[in-house]
Structure 1
Amino acid sequence: MKNTELKGYMTILAVLLSLFTFYQMIAHQLFYDDLKRDYISSWGEITARLVEQNPENEAEIMKVLTSHSSDSSEYQEKGRELFRQYGLYEDLESELFPHLNKHIFSHNQLIFGGLICFGFLLFGTGYRQYKIVFHQIRQLTSAAKKIIDGDYSVVINENKEGDLAKLAASFRSMKDIIRKSMQDLLEEKEFLAQMLQDISHQLKTPLSTISIYNETMLNAELPRQQQVQLLQNNEAQIARMNVLIQNLLKVAKIDARAISFEKEPANLVETMEEVLDRLASMISDKHMSIEWDAPEEIVVVHDKLWMQEALLNLLKNAIEHSKPSNKIMIQAKDTPIYTELVIQDFGEGIATEELSHIFDRFYKARDSKKHDSAGIGLALVKAIIEAHHALIKVESEKNRYTKFTITFMKF
């Protein structure tokens, strides 16, 4: 029986029933003992009187009393006739037999008393069991009301096994799930509010610039060359806003777990080489060199397109913060425990006090030479890397180097 509460209650009932049965056996045994004593006393008196008057009939009398008489039927009928003469019949009520009635009355008292005691025990046991059950139900009800009111500090303890313990455990799990869901909703609300604030702040400057340029072109007669220049500036601002919005949407989707990464074993070296091909013209324009040190194949479970997005941002960031003709080192190392990918440039570098903030959304170094940066690229990189259950760290010295290390754990 899996229901331990019911099992315990049935065990108590079985014990009580056994005790009551044992009590009934004792009561009946006492009743029989009283009957035997009364039988011996009454017939002993009769026998003594008869033997005193007729000593020669002692043997016959004892045969009758011990059921060894050969002609007992004849005398039994004569005895009945004699009793009828005195008004004693077999159909008479037991109350008219004083000795027998006394024993029956005592026996009935014992039986009735036992029934009363058993009833009280049964009632008390049932009341105690149901009191425990309903007390626990009231506790759960009170706890549920507190949870509805937003109080998640309520604790339901049930140390015993059984269905009530399972109910309490399920209730605790439900409470944790509700609390986690409410916390997630609050975080999503804060995240949405922060996201809207960030987008508003980042779009304010380019929109103001576009508005000023448009107003200038509408309210003044400008030469064609200046008009073209203003339109080109507007186009650059629009392109900047487009990149910003796209990156913001990507980060927001990753943070909101709205993207399902299609991770599969793939060659990380090939993924990196495709990124280098896409940035080949940018590398060539700055006359930079790439030192690419990696084996032919390193298999890592990753989403190729999204990983290329992260690596593209890292490598583009390295190129933009390096001087022309500088070099960029890329190394890939595979071990039985982890796979490591390193991208290092020898450009501006990052101040020590700013290293802990570079992955923050919209953070820009105070002396960064990239004035049109929105500060979203590295935040996107970190979100993608962590979505692959990998680690990314940065090391840097001002005006010397910056090194990003991505570590993919295999266990």
Structure 2
Amino acid sequence: MKNTELKSNMIILAVLLVLYITYQFITHQQFYHQLKADSITTWGEITARLVEQNPNNEAEIMKVLTSHSADASMYQEKGREIFRQYGIYEDLESELFPVLNNHIAGHNQSILWGLLILGFMLFGTSYWQYKMIFRNIRQLTSAAKRIIEGDYSVVINENKEGDLAKLAISFRSMKDMIRKSMQDLLEEKKFLGQMLQDISHQLKTPLSTISIYNEMMLNENLPRQQQVQLLENNDVQISRMNVLIQNLLKVAKIDARAISFDKERANLVETIEEVVDRLASMIREHHIMIDWDAPKEVVVAHDKMWMQEAVLNLLKNAIEHSKPGGNIIIRVNDTPIYTELVIQDFGEGIEAQELLHIFDRFYKASGSKKHDSAGIGLALTKAIIESHQAMIKVESEKNAYTKFTVTFIKF
């Protein structure tokens, strides 16, 4: 029986029942013993009187008392007839038989006391058990109120087995889940606040620029050519804000686990080649040479669309920070344990002390020539890659090279 509370209750009831049966057995034995003793005393007195009056009838009297008389039925009927003459019948009340009545009264009193004691023990046991159960329930109720009030230091100890123990374990699990949910909500609230602060900071500059350009265009004496130029500048700032907002939304969704990556085993080489084709015009514009060497097929579990987003950011970053006519190396190395993607440029490089912050949101290297960068691309790239259970690292030397390595573990 798995229900410990019910099991203990049944054991206690069984013990009480055994005790009551034992008590009744002893009481009945005492009743029979006393009845036998009094019967011997009474019939002994009668026998002594009869033998004293007629000593020759002693043997016959003993036969009657021991039920060994051959004509017992005849004398039994005669005896009943004699009793009737004195008003003694079989259906008379027991009060008219003092000796027997005392025995019956005493026996009934013993049974009554036994029932009273049994009832008292049953009541006391039930009261004790229910008191323990309701005490535990009150503890759980009090603990629930404290958790609602935000106190998660509540400890519910229930070392016994049974339904109450299972309830306590479920309660502790619920408490841990609520605490984790509240912590996640606080972290999300903190993250949202930081995100709004970052967005506000990043949008402040382009909005201020647009505002200034609009004020300048309100000047009626401004030549048409300058108005067109200001409108074009506004368009650039709006495009910049659009890209920034889109990337921020992507990062926020990944951080909030609101995106379900559709990972499939696909050719990583084809994924990279499509990115190179998309940036072909930008590569030609900067006169960049792409040193692209990889096997025809390297199968890796990844979400093609999102992985292209990450690779595009890495390759675009390499192009923008390379010198005109420079060279960019793209390698895919496949081993039984891992697959490695390397994108390396030989441009302006990054200072050693800035490498630790290169993936931070809105971080821009102090010596970066890309002044219109929002510093969100590499943060998005890192979020996408880590969501694929992969790793990304960067190596760089100022005015020499920058090397990004993405590693996909196969186990």
- Paired residue type of 1:58: E
Which moves more between the two structures, 34-43 or 76-85?
76-85
- Paired residue type of 1:53: Q
The whole-number CA distance in structure 2 between the counterparts of 1:376 and 1:286 is: 22
1:377 paired to 2:377: yes
The whole-number CA distance in structure 2 between the counterparts of 1:250 and 1:111 is: 84
Hey, what does 1:229 align to over in structure 2? 229
Hey, what does 1:71 align to over in structure 2? 71
C-alpha deviation, 1:142, in angstroms: 0.8
In the alignment of these two chains, the number of paired residues is 411
Structure 2 counterparts to residues 167-182 of structure 1, below 5 A: 167-182=167-182
Name the Cα RMSD after superposition. Answer: 2.1
Hey, what does 1:366 align to over in structure 2? 366
Hey, what does 1:391 align to over in structure 2? 391
C-alpha deviation, 1:87, in angstroms: 4.2
The whole-number CA distance in structure 1 between the counterparts of 2:393 and 2:15 is: 69
Structure 2 counterparts to residues 6-405 of structure 1, below 5 A: 6-219=6-219, 221-405=221-405
The whole-number CA distance in structure 2 between the counterparts of 1:127 and 1:279 is: 81
C-alpha deviation, 1:383, in angstroms: 1.5
- Paired residue type of 2:354: E
Which moves more between the two structures, 370-379 or 343-352?
343-352
| Partner secondary structure for residue 250 of structure 2 | helix
Q: 1:314 to 1:23 in 2, by over 3 A?
A: same
The whole-number CA distance in structure 1 between the counterparts of 2:103 and 2:387 is: 90
C-alpha deviation, 1:312, in angstroms: 0.4
Deviations 1:306-346 (A, max 9, x none): 11001100111122122223322222233333322222223
C-alpha deviation, 1:220, in angstroms: 5.5
The whole-number CA distance in structure 1 between the counterparts of 2:57 and 2:298 is: 123
- Paired residue type of 1:161: E
Q: 1:26 to 1:337 in 2, by over 3 A?
A: farther
C-alpha deviation, 1:19, in angstroms: 2.0
- Paired residue type of 1:162: G
- Paired residue type of 1:205: T
- Return 5+ residue gaps in structure 2 as ranges: none
- Paired residue type of 1:78: K
The whole-number CA distance in structure 2 between the counterparts of 1:252 and 1:45 is: 111
The whole-number CA distance in structure 2 between the counterparts of 1:20 and 1:99 is: 27
- Paired residue type of 2:352: T
The whole-number CA distance in structure 2 between the counterparts of 1:348 and 1:95 is: 124
Q: 1:74 to 1:159 in 2, by over 3 A?
A: same
Which moves more between the two structures, 69-78 or 121-130?
69-78
- Paired residue type of 2:393: K
The whole-number CA distance in structure 1 between the counterparts of 2:357 and 2:404 is: 14
- Paired residue type of 1:322: S
C-alpha deviation, 1:2, in angstroms: 4.3
The whole-number CA distance in structure 1 between the counterparts of 2:168 and 2:107 is: 50
The whole-number CA distance in structure 1 between the counterparts of 2:336 and 2:30 is: 86
- Paired residue type of 1:30: Q
The whole-number CA distance in structure 2 between the counterparts of 1:57 and 1:159 is: 79
The whole-number CA distance in structure 2 between the counterparts of 1:77 and 1:242 is: 124
- Return 5+ residue gaps in structure 1 as ranges: none
1:408 paired to 2:400: no
Deviations 1:267-304 (A, max 9, x none): 11111111111122222332323333432222222110
Deviations 1:366-404 (A, max 9, x none): 221111100110111112112222222223333333222
C-alpha deviation, 1:206, in angstroms: 0.9
The whole-number CA distance in structure 2 between the counterparts of 1:293 and 1:16 is: 88
Q: 1:119 to 1:335 in 2, by over 3 A?
A: farther
C-alpha deviation, 1:20, in angstroms: 1.3
The whole-number CA distance in structure 1 between the counterparts of 2:161 and 2:136 is: 14
| Partner secondary structure for residue 152 of structure 1 | coil
| Partner secondary structure for residue 408 of structure 2 | strand
Deviations 1:215-273 (A, max 9, x none): 22322623444333323222221221111111112112222222222221111111111
Q: 1:360 to 1:102 in 2, by over 3 A?
A: same
Superposition TM-score, scaled by structure 1 size: 0.93
The whole-number CA distance in structure 1 between the counterparts of 2:129 and 2:395 is: 67
Q: 1:395 to 1:103 in 2, by over 3 A?
A: farther
